[in-house]
Amino acid sequence: MVGRFRLYSIIAGVMSLLLACADRTIRQPLPVAPIMAAPVAQVCMPDTAAQQQPEPRKKHALIVLVHGTIVPWPYTAGILSLIERLSQKARFIRYCHESSIKAIRFTTVYGNQAVGAYGLYGIRSPLVDQGNLSPASYRLAVGLRTAWDIARPDYYEKFHCYTFGWPGLLSIKSRREGGELLHKTLAKEVQELIQQHSLEPEDLEVFVFGHSHGGNVALQMASVHNAHEHGFSVQSLMLFGTPIQRETEEYARCPLFKKIVSVYSPEDMVQVMDIFSAAGFWPGRRFSQAYLATAQEGKIHQVAVRVDGISPSHAELWFFRDALGALYRSRLSIAPLPVVLFAPFIIETLRPIDSSQHNLTLSLVAKRNAYYMSFENFEGISIDTHHACIEKAPLEKLWPIR
């Protein structure tokens, strides 16, 4: 009996020992090393250093639209004003400047372009600006902002759009004075925007678009520019149908202009008609090859534009088509839009193009739901990597395409 009790005691002791060992194994804590290898700061929350890195600053764009020559139109109010002024022995040129040109800026077909009061004038609202801006000015400003948001999304935080009005006379003196005023007011506006929005100078990119002799007004800015004194530059100067004249061709060398894009129509006769207000006899459509050979590499692109395979007219480069279609052909597939509205796409498409490609041809056509752009060089070789397909819908919301 005693022997059996001892046996049971031994078995119970062994079992107790085994259970105690098992319990200690189960309750043993997990190794610490794997947890230390993955710090809590990396697993549960983002890296503090990454949070402190500043986001890239978005840029502001300042866009200036410069109209071309304004030729007086014979209309009733103008004729009566002419008779009155001639009776007072006023000079005819004074009549052109003060009476006819001021009136027809907004009341005739000239109102289908971006044109405003004299000087640099901000485009804010079609209601606020009545009497100082043509209806097309606001339409073009909204269209350019929309186009740039498509061409380069989320790059520009804010757009500042202006018209620059000058007398519009067919005169070298008038264009020179206009260029001087444009430079003075633009330099002041650049500084005010930098201070107002707390920008670095490189965060404000300036674009100047000039139509016809408005492009020569913009080039005249170089005559008074001093880089150290004025401290601003033009990111891109775009010329639309601008007569290339001997006296303004040299201004393109000025460091004020970082890039110049001259858009012209191969069959635009208006561009080369001015033989009265130029030093040379005939202005040209393009910068001379001799000039391009000595110009800064990659600074100038000359783009011959065709819409639906045909050359747009002088007005179709810059004017919207109105209900009458006086200066704009309805059969163009991009109607009622002017070529200038596609400037953001042209600028952004040209950025990566080889700097040696001075002379290019742009084909623009609208098909169903999109606009198609393609570039080729003068040898007819397509630059396949540089084309754009632009959805129509955003622009159709602004103006129904007819």
pLDDT, position 30: 35
- Per-residue pLDDT, averaged over 89-110, amounts to 60
Within 10 angstroms of residue 264's Cβ, the number of other Cβ atoms is 25
The two tokens of residue 313 are 């007219």
Residues 310 and 268: beta-carbon distance below 8 Å: no
Name the band, by pLDDT with cuts 50, 70 and 90, for residue 158. Answer: very high
Task: Provide mean pLDDT across the span 309-332.
Answer: 88
Q: Which band of pLDDT confidence, cut at 50, 70 and 90, is reported for residue 65?
A: very high
Q: How confident is the model at residue 43 (pLDDT cuts 50, 70, 90)?
A: very low
DSSP summary character for residue 284: B
Q: Which of 26-30, 168-172, 233-237, 376-380 has the highest mean pLDDT?
A: 233-237
Token reading at 227:
């880089």
- The verdict on whether omega for the bond into residue 336 sits within 30 degrees of 0, i.e. cis, is yes
Given a cut of 50, is residue 39 above it in pLDDT? no
CA distance 168 to 97: 8
Give the Cα separation of 218 and 238 in Å (integer).
9
What is the model's pLDDT at position 92? 54
* pLDDT, average across residues 259-287: 87
The model carries a pTM of 0.79
Per-residue pLDDT at 46 exceeds 80: no
Question: What's the pLDDT score for residue 78?
Answer: 46
Q: What pLDDT, on a 0 to 100 scale, did the predictor assign at position 326?
A: 77
* Over residues 99-125, mean pLDDT: 79
Q: Which residue has the higher pLDDT, 56 or 186?
A: 186
d(CA 116, CA 343) in angstroms, rounded, equals 20
Q: How much is the mean pLDDT over the chain?
A: 77
- For residue 129, give the nearest of 117, 119, 120, 140 by alpha carbon: 117
Give the model's confidence band at 354: pLDDT under 50 very low, under 70 low, under 90 confident, else very high.
Answer: low
Task: Write down the pLDDT at residue 215.
Answer: 97
Query: β-strands 156-165, 59-66: how paired?
Result: parallel
Question: CATH 3.40.50: which residues of the chain?
Answer: 57-71+116-398
287 vs 71 pLDDT, higher one: 287
The answer to whether residue 307 scores a pLDDT higher than 90 is yes
pLDDT tier at 34, thresholds 50, 70, 90: very low
**Token reading at 170:** 């067919």
310: DSSP letter? B
Q: Could you tell me which of 48, 46, 102, 49 has the C-alpha nearest to residue 73?
A: 102
pLDDT at 398: 61
Angle between helices 343-350 and 135-151 in degrees, nearest 10: 30
Query: Is the predicted pLDDT of residue 152 greater than 80, yes or no?
Result: yes
pLDDT of residue 131 exceeding 90, the answer is: no
Report the pLDDT value the prediction gives residue 51, as an integer from 0 to 100. Answer: 44
- Report residue 5's pLDDT band, with 50, 70 and 90 as the boundaries: very low
Query: Looking at residues 324-340, what average pLDDT do you find?
Result: 87
- The whole-number pLDDT of residue 355 equals 60
Residue 269 has a CB neighbour count (10 Å cut-off) of: 9
Distance CA 337, CA 330 (A): 10
The answer, yes or no, to whether residue 89 has pLDDT greater than 60, is: no
Which of 179-193, 202-216, 320-334 comes out lowest in average pLDDT?
Answer: 320-334
Look up residue 138 and give its two tokens: 């606001």
Dihedral angle over CA of 36, 42, 44, 48, nearest 10? 130
Residue 104: enclosing H or E segment and its boundaries?
helix 101-107
Q: How crowded is residue 133: how many other Cβ atoms within 10 Å of its Cβ?
A: 26
Average pLDDT, integer, range 269-291: 82
Burial (CB < 10 A; 0-12, 13-18, 19+), residue 352, is exposed
CATH code, residues 57-71+116-398: 3.40.50
What is the rounded radius of gyration, in angstroms, for the C-alpha atoms of the chain? 34
pLDDT band with cut points at 50, 70 and 90 for residue 77: very low
Question: What is the predicted pLDDT for the residue at 61?
Answer: 97
